[in-house]
Amino acid sequence: MAHLIAPSILSADFGNLQRDIELINNSQADWFHVDIMDGVFVPNISFGFPVLKTIQKFAKKPIDVHLMIVDPDRYTEAFKDAGANILTLHLEASTHLHRSIQNIKKAGMKAGVALNPHSPVHLLEDIIADIDLICLMGVNPGFGGQKFIENTYAKVSTLKKLIIEKKSKALIEIDGGVDFENYKKLVSCGANILVAGNTVFGNANPTEAIDQLKKII
């Protein structure tokens, strides 16, 4: 399959949120990526249900919600109601991961698991056949605009091998530090979805930035 681009709403202009949502709707982007931060699991606070419901109101493409929060199980149904099509929680924040995945799917969403840069891929061995997406962090979670962690390439390759070995259908998503210098190598290593925040919305022409990220040749 061709790789997908998921612009991160965290980097959008919140004074012109509807405009930026429509920009994504009318671009080659595939998903909306929405980072939810609680100031506890990560040292930053982003936004909650009112903003997500605004995105839901105008979005014409799937909404990929990435939870960087403690005790994410409390909000599974609420995120479904607010428009999430894909719900990803962190391995490091989940006490009973298998149960959490079951609850996300029961609510009618695709289920993802995110790994912080320090978490090894092998921790997913017993769950990888049950999930739809693995989000590998290319930076430490919490803030946009950080320098990409080079070890991410090796993690993508290792994860790809594990997916094949376990006959999983999970897609590999990269979140953090994706730019024009590394996106082709990430795809060649096995990445299926690229989250791009500053690379898209920090560009003078976000639509052209998305177009470029879709090109591999």
Query: What is the model's pLDDT at position 211?
Result: 97
Give me the active site residues, please.
35, 175
Across 154-173, average pLDDT: 97
pLDDT at 142 over 90: no
Band the pLDDT of 43: cuts 50, 70, 90. confident
Question: Are 9 and 55 within 8 A, CB to CB?
Answer: yes
10 Å Cβ neighbour count for 85?
18
The domain 4-214 is classified under which CATH number: 3.30.160.60, 3.20.20.70, 3.40.30.10, 3.30.930.10?
3.20.20.70
Would you list the domain boundaries of the chain? Answer: 4-214
pTM of the model: 0.96
